[in-house]
Amino acid sequence: MTFEPTIVGFLCNWCSYTGADLAGTSRIQYAPNVRIIRVMCSARIDPTFVLKALTDGADGVLICGCHPGDCHYSEGNYKMMRRFPLLKTLLADYGIEEERVRLEWVSASEGQRFADIVNDMTERVRALGPSPIKMALAHDMAER
Amino acid sequence: MADTKLQLAIYWGAACGGCDVSILDTNEFILEVDKVADIRLWPIAADGKYADVEAMADGELDVALMNGAVRNSENEYICKLLRQKSKIFVAYGSCAYMGGIPGLANLVPRTQIIECAYLTNPSIEPGNRTVPLAECSVNGYTLEIPKFYDRVYKLDQIVDVDYYVPGCPPQPDQAKAAILALVAALTGQADPPPKGAVVGAYERALCDDCPREKSEKKIARFYRPWEIMQDPDKCLMEQGIFCAGMATRSGCGVRCPNSGIPCRGCYGPAPGVLDQGAKLVSAVASIIDSKDPEGIEAALATLPDFTSFANRYSIPASPLQRSHRQ
């Protein structure tokens, strides 16, 4: 049986969620692995959410916001843009593979782009296999 | 004063000894403690052997103050033993509370630690290949030392912890306040703090108590403290000096920022914060004055080893707990 990754998607309400909605209403077929959580803005996505998602069983986390310059709140996506490299550094130091967490800008008209991103990410995370976190923490329980 | 003295134990796991010294730093107050309490185990300042603790009845001790993290099987054994023998078990200091400085080792595998400490370190005699083994055989005898675990644990990952006293080390005044609160609870003079409470600290962030002036934060780069002439009245973050105060609980008396040194986060996450590292990602991201990826990258390049700064005391307490590199 092929491994089906679970990907948590945090999508901003104004652009990316609407883009995902467009993918749906346009009947574009894409991988069912992403579980979407709608947030009002990509700036609302506290890095803690990403850590929580990963430790609570997600194999990957997808963050989508408005393209730079298009934020409904004018600056929110820039906050996410600045957080992301630092979050990647933090995750890399904890040994989490780079491709498990991804930031993309998706506008309300980019239904096809959203579907392509989800398909591509699903394949990449599938190739990586299940998140190592659960196994490592189980190993810790066993060593004592 | 109570008719019967309180029974007290103070011990350490993977620790530097600073926590024990912080208790001694309460000066003559320690004599007050001695008046109301029998110190049954405190090897660093009094006495007591494992066998004495093993001989006690369960719950015979009123309070055990355990400092240090759990790095090996001996730390784990004494932690579980003291838990069993105590009515109140306190994780004392940052290592016990969050893993502390020893917890930084969770970012590297055990094999690398052993190799660095015993084989490749410049101070190792050339050709010396002696490494510690949990069990070895010498002249037909089997010798055992504690097993060195793959990672560091904070105490509540091993046993049930009643209270936490943060700090590296806890400030003597706060140590005193925490001990007095426990004595008052045990002698029926006050209600005990709710289980799981952080005692000897406040319910607010360090910035709330920091006297430095805070205004709009916009910085183009970061500086290590020695790279810049510091304005002693202005927020350190606004000057580009990375300070963990925003994500850290207050209680230390703002000692570091008051001495021109950025907060290192030893009092642990501020109330409502799950992980200091994740919150400091947001804090740093909010103050960088750039809207293009290159400018952001350039600013972040001046902030080396972010994870070890942001989670300096709290790696085992972070949701990720350790490196997951395979």
> In the predicted model, what is the mean pLDDT of residues A106-116?
98
β-strand pairing of A60-65 with B6-12: unpaired
Residue B308 touches chain A, beta carbons under 8 Å: yes
> In the predicted model, what is the mean pLDDT of residues A12-24?
97
> In the predicted model, what is the mean pLDDT of residues B181-203?
92
Residue B321 touches chain A, beta carbons under 8 Å: yes
Window from A72-86, B34-48, B50-64, B202-216 with minimum mean pLDDT? B34-48
Q: How far is A81 from chain B (nearest CA, A)?
A: 7
Q: What per-residue confidence (pLDDT) applies to A28?
A: 97
> In the predicted model, what is the mean pLDDT of residues B131-136?
90
Which residues are paired to B198 by β-bridges?
A: B164
Residue A113 has phi, psi (to 5 degrees) of -65, -40
Host H or E run for residue B64: strand B61-67
CA distances from B41 to A105, B17, B86, B100 (A): 60, 15, 12, 23
Q: Which domains does chain A have, with CATH numbers?
A: 7-143 (3.40.50)
End-to-end CA distance of chain B: 57
CA B163 to chain centre: 14
> In the predicted model, what is the mean pLDDT of residues A18-29?
97
Residue whose entry in the numeric block shows the structure tokens 């350039």? B298
CA B252 to chain centre: 13
Which residues are paired to B143 by β-bridges?
A: B136
β-strand pairing of A34-39 with A101-105: unpaired
| Apex A47 CA angle, A43 and A48, nearest 5 | 125
Instruction: Quote helix, strand, coil % in chain A, to nearest 5.
Output: 50, 15, 35
Q: What is the mean pLDDT of chain B?
A: 94
Q: What per-residue confidence (pLDDT) applies to B1?
A: 43
Host H or E run for residue B287: helix B276-287
Cα–Cα distance for residue pair B88/B84, rounded to 1 Å: 10
Q: What is the pLDDT of residues A36-76, one digit of tens each?
A: 999 999 999 999 999 999 999 999 999 999 999 999 999 99
CA distances from B58 to A96, A138, B22, B86, B298 (A): 43, 30, 28, 7, 58
Domain ranges within chain B, ordered by starting residue: 6-101+151-186, 105-149, 206-310
Q: What per-residue confidence (pLDDT) applies to B127?
A: 87
Q: What is the pLDDT of residues B20-31, one digit of tens each?
A: 999 999 989 988
Q: How far is A92 from chain B (nearest CA, A)?
A: 9
Q: What is the mean pLDDT of chain A?
A: 96
Q: What per-residue confidence (pLDDT) applies to B3?
A: 59
CATH node for B6-101+151-186:
3.40.50.700
The residue among A58 and B46 whose pLDDT is bigger is: A58
C-beta separation of B247 from B312 below 8 A: no
- Local confidence band at A144 (pLDDT 50, 70, 90 cut-offs): confident
Q: Closest CB to A93: pick one of B107, B274, B275.
A: B107
Q: Which residues on chain A are in Cβ contact (under 8 Å) with B105?
A: none
Host H or E run for residue B208: helix B206-209
Q: What per-residue confidence (pLDDT) applies to A129?
A: 95
The answer to whether the Cα torsion of B202, B205, B210, B213 is positive or negative is negative
Q: Tell me the pTM.
A: 0.93
Cβ separation of B278 and A48 shorter than 8 Å? yes
- DSSP string for B140-200: TEEEE---EEEEEE-GGGTS--SEEE--SSPPHHHHHHHHHHHHHHHTTSSPPPPTT-B-S
Q: Which residues on chain B are in Cβ contact (under 8 Å) with A79?
A: 282, 285-286
Q: How far is B183 from chain A (nearest CA, A)?
A: 34
Cβ separation of A51 and B274 shorter than 8 Å? yes
Q: What is the pLDDT of residues B48-90, one digit of tens each?
A: 999 999 999 999 999 999 999 999 999 999 999 999 999 999 9
- Local confidence band at B2 (pLDDT 50, 70, 90 cut-offs): very low
Nearest to B145 by CA among B156, B159, B133, B155: B133
Say which amino acid occupies B145: I
Q: Count of alpha carbons within 13 Å of A92, Cβ hemisphere only? A: 11
ipTM for the whole predicted complex goes beyond 0.90: yes
Q: For chain B, how big is the Rg over CA atoms in Å? A: 22
CA B29 to chain centre: 23
